[in-house]
Amino acid sequence: MKRGYKIAVIRGDGIGPEIISEGEKVLEAVSELEGFELEWREYPHGAEHYLATGELIGEDTLTELEQCDAIYFGSIGDPRVETGVLEQGILLAMRFYFDQYVNLRPVKLLEGVRTPLAGKGPEDIDFTVVRENTEDFYVGIGGRAKGKGKKREELEIVRELYHIKFGLDIESDADELAYQIGVVTREGCARVMRFAFELAREKGKKKVTSVDKANVLTYGYGFWREIFTEVARGYPEIDTEFNFVDAICMWLVKNPEWYQVVVTPNMFGDIITDLGAMIQGGLGLAPGANINPDGVSMFEPIHGSAPKYKGKGVSNPIATVWAGAMLLETVGEKRASERVLGAIESVLRAGKVRTYDLGGTSKTSEVGDAIVREVKGQD
Ligand code: IPM
Ligand code: MN
């Protein structure tokens, strides 16, 4: 019997549908050549669906998605919906529900792509960011308080913090405040760190860098450091180092060649991977994989929905196609995955078919077609 995989597809908002179509096209082509089948299951979630039905993503859908081998995700975000609603209600909801605790983001400058970093080339920019994906400031604990007697229980917590920290009585001394709490757990840190070390081992990398801000956020990231030191003991052949998050932003621009595998708490990982996307040639080229090694993983470009470009057919589909290659690798189709990445590389190296962000005039679908031709041409 043929190998087969059920892939849930959430096209989402803005340019999501058009870039996902190219990804599907490429994955279909490679599946035929490599002798496996993809069964696509469409889900309508996103702004349109939310505005029409009020559903973000419900328990029923999540249970259904659980039956799939992977989720292929376009992008969400729409000017008609208040910022944060779709992001938290759909994207983060899935990351948390499926416990996709690793957000894997390769930062690799492919040949034929220009980096804004002067004097740096593909041999200098090739590392992987392993971003923790279910903890830290993303846990959604926080609140706002104003005046007297509002939101009793929350006010109790804040009152206590306020009192311990400043010796003030919030009800009489503070008029309005907001707080947001980050949480990191021992196992939450350890598991993503183990993943980073295992990845380094598997790919023959020599060093893992840990990112934090332990000089100021001493409780949370002091804890993170302690755990990193413990986990690192299990991998004596791999070198380690600590970088503060502000410092790594500087070094990634100055000396990206220092980095091989970078493991980071969620919030800092969000920030440094946008920086990473730019040094690898732009957001149009940056894929991400939300991974639960024992469960359902989700693959997406790291860019957003770019509403301005919706329906124009000009957006770069490469980040999404690359995310598709990561999907194939994760379900066990390594050869197919390598073929797709190889085809992306050939198209970029040749430089003839490229979208506006890379200085070209090609349409989204022309880039998809060119990658398909390359995938077939390797036969
Ligand atoms: C990302 C995005 C998300 C994040 C948003 C859309 C919730 O910026 O995947 O990097 O902050 O993780
Ligand atoms: Mn981000």
Domain at 1-108+285-379: CATH architecture? 3-Layer(aba) Sandwich (3.40)
Decide: helix, strand or coil at residue 173: helix
Spacing, Cα 275 to ligand 2 middle (Å): 10
Percent of the chain with pLDDT over 90: 88
Mean pLDDT estimate for the chain: 94
- Two structure tokens written together for 181: 């709490």
On the question of pLDDT at 176 being above 80, the answer is no
In the chain, alpha helices (H): 16-34, 47-53, 59-65, 85-86, 93-97, 152-166, 170-173, 186-202, 218-232, 245-254, 266-279, 318-331, 334-350, 364-377
Evaluate: CB of 302 within 6 angstroms of ligand 1.
yes
The class (CATH top level) of 114-135+184-279 is alpha beta
Q: Give the ligand with the smallest distance to the CA of 103.
A: 1
In sequence order, which residues have a C-beta less than 8 Å from that of residue 361 and are 6 or more positions away? Answer: none
Evaluate: CB of 136 within 6 angstroms of ligand 1.
no
Average pLDDT over residues 94-98: 98
What pLDDT does 147 receive?
A: 56
Which residue's alpha carbon is at the smallest distance from atom 10 of ligand 1? 270
Residue that the structure tokens 């980040």 belong to: 319
Q: Please tell me if the domain spanning 1-108+285-379 has the same topology as the one spanning 114-135+184-279.
A: no
Spacing, Cα 270 to ligand 1 middle (Å): 6
State which residues have CB under 5 angstroms from ligand 2, the bound ion: 270
Evaluate: CB of 104 within 6 angstroms of ligand 1.
no
Q: Is residue 163 very low, low, confident or very high in pLDDT (cuts 50, 70, 90)?
A: confident
- Two structure tokens written together for 339: 């073929």
Decide: helix, strand or coil at residue 209: strand
Quick one: which atom of ligand 1 is closest to the CA of 266? 12
Distance between start and end Cα atoms, the chain: 22
Strand order of the β-sheet with 207-212 is: 36-43, 3-12, 70-75, 297-301, 287-291, 102-108, 126-132, 261-264, 207-212, 239-244
DSSP state of 362: -
Decide: helix, strand or coil at residue 84: coil
Structural domain boundaries in the chain: 1-108+285-379, 114-135+184-279, 141-181
Evaluate: CB of 300 within 6 angstroms of ligand 1.
no
Choice among 115-119, 148-152, 258-262, 300-304 with the minimum mean pLDDT: 148-152
Smallest Cα–Cα separation from 50: which of 92, 81, 91?
A: 81
Spacing, Cα 13 to ligand 1 middle (Å): 14
Spacing, Cα 6 to ligand 1 middle (Å): 25
Evaluate: CB of 277 within 6 angstroms of ligand 1.
no
Smallest Cα–Cα separation from 14: which of 61, 46, 44?
A: 46
Evaluate: CB of 86 within 6 angstroms of ligand 1.
no
In sequence order, which residues have a C-beta less than 8 Å from that of residue 212 and are 6 or more positions away? Answer: 221, 224, 225, 242, 243, 244, 245, 264, 265, 268
Which residue's alpha carbon is at the smallest distance from atom 5 of ligand 1? 87
Q: How far is CA 94 from the centre of its chain?
A: 12
